[in-house]
Chains A and B, each alone.
Chain A
């Protein structure tokens, strides 16, 4: 294999990483009976936080209300926690744990922060609308060959490429 280029700072070969990820997803199918998911855990945290402010309101909201009074009792919450822990172990072992706001060197921290926040809000909302995110729909549903999940995958790329031009300045060096 050729030596790694400047993009690959000790990262795994992407194809082999992909195979490993695919086998993890397969293990998830065969053990859990359900695939990977990340946004579900985030939304449960959202429901939990909302419940801290008003439990009555939470229990009576049509969407979050269906998760009951203890929204954190859900397997995807634990999967999300596991994702964080696994990544933490890997980052520490490979000395990639670094506290910083990632941005282009010529871009202002404020611009990057605002875009990260706005993007987060949109992603949080869109994941609920689509009943999943890149993990739960695109990857998991895609591997199951589900129509909606593959449509979601294609639309994610369309939306991303359409908007990329307008926010490119955050990566300017």
Chain B
């Protein structure tokens, strides 16, 4: 049995590309030989002048159809190995009509346009540029076109099923129609244009007869191949997303395809995996009765809004009692570009059955080791969920800032406003803060956390001075501090570094900052917190100044250790030395340039870090392992604080040092080596 690139999921691999290139080569060669490098000849079909397009295309269609039907019914290939496009009646109807108009206007279609270009036709070049522009227009207008794009979805639909006849009978009728069209074409050419080379020719008679006999012969073959179950569901529209056979499903789970098994989910929740969002799509009533601990509740209609911040960041798992609704939601989300949505195999019922059912109630014997795991799951998911009061569960269910330091989202912050032990620190400019801020938040100028240390400007202040600042703001070591930046995330991460110097790891940065808060129309006010009481904040007694800040001599030493990665996060032209506002231009020899601006994204009116999955991939290309020794620096430590925070707290690099004196010091100390250029 044949395994295809699609079936193996390797269509978009170097081998798949090469195979596609070869197939394309044959495609182009034959089209050119058929005379399709000429727009005039192509357009001829619409003026009944030259019917070559119809003859070639219909012959090709019938040939491939007969070949494919034969292959399927003889079991040479299974349907799962093939990508069947979904039918969307409205989109195909309107798309077809428009396409026909564009075809006759230009005289080209996409495939023949490539052939025309290769034949030197200027009009093919113009056509192709237009087609690129048309694709871009479609993308830009997608919001408006989308209802039409999805109008009349019928999933994978076969014409013979719709007509209620067998595949082979339909194939025979189509072949007969093709033969009729061939004779009609030859007749038209013969009578109107004195052409019709093949009209009544022995060749056409033999060819017609051959096709009809072949397709009639197929009627004798069994036509009851099994088509993928659930072919009525809307497809995802991407060839690289195969439907699963049982065996593939197992492989797919291992490769994290679209299902997640109850046991895997239970273990991942138990491990408190930070980037895991479990969503219960049942009604709030059902959710209140019982839900998987750590999940949040969002009905299908709310889903898009709730999941927006998690698009392609981390793992989203949807569950309901069964699997139908989550599967539909997953398909819909996939079409919206979510590639990180998974559904829980067998839903909540399966989860309870597999993980939470007491050993005593199980019909089959349970190995001791598995019984221990069941006990651990029950302890976590059953005991707590049924005894904890509902409101606490709701708080806990919003993405808990369990991994700190880390990010928290706006919804979580809003639902926790006013909680004791939560201190919100706004690090935007003072005028911005005075105009509007999150209720109860305090202003902090990040410049007040830095000063001249050892003659070097803009270094983070010693812990005693930082502790004094905390006392003025009424912060205690046990408080959860949430930092609010505007567009400059580095302001928040700089304050974060200062907190870490105090050993205060109980802090988080608001994802999307004040901008997102505002865009989401969450509450703001402009009152100042008068009568703020001071607190007691004893400076830490550990390592001075902290365990992660490094000095120039330490950097020099680390540089000489094999494997150290020095990340210079300044803009590229400062790295290369084209620009400089320090004593010397250039960078630390061997340093890698990764501008901090590449990690952020401004969209919908606010700035945030880019999806962590993307950043993880990009950094993995720069840094060999999570244990690699990394030094991040910029000019003064401000920009580098953002990369430091990202690598150490969000991407899980364990060995990140922060050179806060940065290029200011390095450039001025003439004994230190400098490189120029890229």
Which A residues lie at the B interface, using CB under 8 A? 1-2, 4-9, 11-15, 17-36, 38-39, 41-43, 45-47, 49-50, 56, 59-66, 69, 73-76, 78-91, 94, 96-104, 112-113, 115-164, 167-168, 170-171
A134 to chain B, nearest CB (A): 4
Measured between beta carbons, the chain A residues less than 8 angstroms from B167 are: 145
Residues of A close to B112: CB separation below 8 A: 134
| B172 vs chain A, min Cβ distance (A) | 12
When distances are taken between beta carbons in the complex, the residues of chain B under 8 Å from A60 are 601, 603-604
- From known contacts A116-B107, A160-B103, infer whether A56 and B601 are also in contact, taking CB-CB under 8 Å: yes
Question: Is B139 located at the chain interface by the 8 A CB criterion?
Answer: yes
Supplied contacts A34-B83, A63-B139, A87-B118, 16 more A-B pairs, CB within 8 Å:
A5-B197, A9-B35, A20-B30, A21-B27, A26-B63, A33-B6, A100-B120, A120-B102, A126-B98, A131-B91, A133-B111, A143-B62, A146-B159, A147-B87, A148-B89, A155-B100
In whole Å, how far is A55's beta carbon from the nearest beta carbon of chain B?
Answer: 9
Chain B residues in 8 Å Cβ range of A126: 95-96, 98-99, 102, 134
Q: Which residues of B contact A155 (CB under 8 A)?
A: 92-97, 99-100
Decide yes or no: A117 and B29 within 8 Å by CB, A29-B82, A74-B12 being known contacts: no
Q: Are B68 and A117 neighbours in the complex by a CB distance under 8 Å?
A: no
The answer to whether B50 and A7 have CB atoms under 8 Å apart is: yes
Q: Which residues of B contact A101 (CB under 8 A)?
A: 121-123
Would A90 and B104 be within 8 Å (CB), given that A63-B138, A117-B127 are in contact? no
Instruction: Quote the shortest CB–CB distance from B87 to chain A (angstroms).
Output: 3
Contact with A along B18-30 (1 / 0, CB 8 A): 1111111111111
What's the least CB distance linking A137 to chain B, in Å?
7
Alpha-carbon distance between A12 and B21 when the two chains are bound, in angstroms: 23
* Contact assessment for B87 and A148 in the assembled complex, using a CB-CB cutoff below 8 Å: yes
On whether the beta carbons of A86 and B24 are closer than 8 Å, the reply is yes
Q: Does B445 contact A (CB under 8 A)?
A: no
Chain B residues with CB under 8 Å of A100's CB are 120-122
Q: A39-B131, A82-B24, A101-B121 are in contact. Are A17 and B34 (CB under 8 A)?
A: yes
Q: Does A31 lie within 8 Å of B99, measured CB to CB?
A: no
With A123-B103, A146-B156 already in contact, the answer to whether A96 and B32 are too (CB < 8 A) is yes
Contacts of B149 in A (CB 8 A): 129
Residues of B within 8 A of A120 (CB): 102, 106, 108, 113, 126-131, 133-134
Contact A127 B100 (CB under 8 A): no
Contact residues in A for B117 (Cβ distance below 8 Å): 84, 87
Q: Bound state CA distance, A21 and B81, in angstroms?
A: 21
Q: Which of A19, A56, A167, A168 has the most CB of B within 10 A?
A: A19
Subset of 7 A-B contacts with CB under 8 Å? A5-B197, A8-B35, A86-B118, A116-B108, A123-B102, A124-B131, A163-B105
B227 to chain A, nearest CB (A): 11
Minimum C-beta distance from B32 to chain A (A): 4
Are A129 and B30 in touch, CB under 8 angstroms?
no
- How far is the CB of A120 from the nearest CB of chain B, in Å? 2
Nearest residue, chain B, Cβ from A29 = B68
Report Cα–Cα, A143/B170, bound state, in Å: 11
Cβ-neighbour of A88 out of B65, B118, B161, B197 (below 8 A):
B118
CB-based contact A151/B89 at 8 Å: yes
* Distance from A153 Cβ to chain B, minimum over Cβ atoms (Å): 7
B378: Cβ under 8 A from any A Cβ: no
* Interface hit among B52-60, B360-368, B516-524: B52-60
Residue of A nearest to B3 (CB): A33
Q: Which residue of B lies closest to A65 (CB)?
A: B337
Among the stretches B199-207, B245-253, B463-471, B477-485, the one at the interface with A is B199-207
- The listed residue with most A CB atoms (<10 A of its CB), out of B31, B111, B156, B197, is B111
CB distance from B326 to the nearest CB of A (A): 20
A170, B126: Cα distance in complex, Å: 15
A103 to B142, CA, bound (A): 34
The distance in angstroms between the C-alpha atoms of A167 and B159, with both chains bound, is 33
Nearest-CB distance from B192 to chain A (Å)? 12
Q: Of A8, A25, A151, which one neighbours B64 at CB under 8 angstroms? A: A25
A82/B25 in contact, CB under 8 A: yes
With contacts A33-B5, A132-B85 taken as known, whether A124 is within 8 angstroms of B21 at the C-beta atoms is no
CB neighbors of A among B31-56 (8 A): 31-35, 37-41, 43, 45-47, 50, 52, 55-56
List the 4 closest A-B pairs by CB distance, nearest first. Answer: A120-B130, A124-B134, A82-B24, A18-B59
Contact, CB under 8 Å: A119 / B105: yes
Chain B residue contacts of A18, Cβ below 8 A: 34, 55-60, 63
The residue of chain A having its C-beta at the shortest distance from the C-beta of B178 within the complex is A18
Q: Given known contacts A31-B4, A132-B85, A137-B85, is B91 in contact with A147 (CB within 8 Å)? A: no
Decide if B101 is an interface residue (CB 8 Å cutoff).
yes
A142 and B26 contact, Cβ closer than 8 Å, known pairs A100-B121, A123-B102, A162-B100:
no
Flag if A129 contacts B81 (CB, 8 Å): no
What is the distance, in angstroms, from A60's C-beta to the closest C-beta of chain B?
A: 5
Chain A's closest residue to B153 (CB) is A148
Which residue of A38, A75, A81, A103 is within 8 Å of B110 (Cβ)?
A38
- Chain A residues with Cβ under 8 A from B95's Cβ? 126-127, 129-131, 152, 155
* A141 partner residues in chain B, CB cutoff 8 A: 85
Q: Is the CB of A145 within 8 A of B159?
A: yes
Contact (A91, B37) CB under 8 Å given A102-B123, A135-B109, A147-B157: yes
- Determine the chain B residues whose CB is within 8 A of the CB of A137 once the complex forms: 85, 92, 96
Contact B107 A119 (CB under 8 A): yes
The answer for the CA separation of A64 and B143 in the assembled complex, in Å, is 12
CA distance A18 to B61 in the complex (A): 8
A160 to B106, CA, bound (A): 11
> B382 in the interface, Cβ–Cβ < 8 Å?
no
Check: B88 CB closer than 8 A to any chain A CB: yes
CA distance A145 to B87 in the complex (A): 11
Contact (Cβ within 8 A) B110 A90: no
Distance of B49 from chain A, by nearest CB (Å): 9
The answer for the CA separation of A125 and B5 in the assembled complex, in Å, is 28
Partner of A153, one of B2, B30, B96, B602: B96
Across the interface, which residues of B come within 8 angstroms of A83, CB to CB? 24-25, 27-28, 31, 111, 114-115
**Which single member of B24, B43, B114, B130 contacts A78 (CB below 8 Å)?**
B24
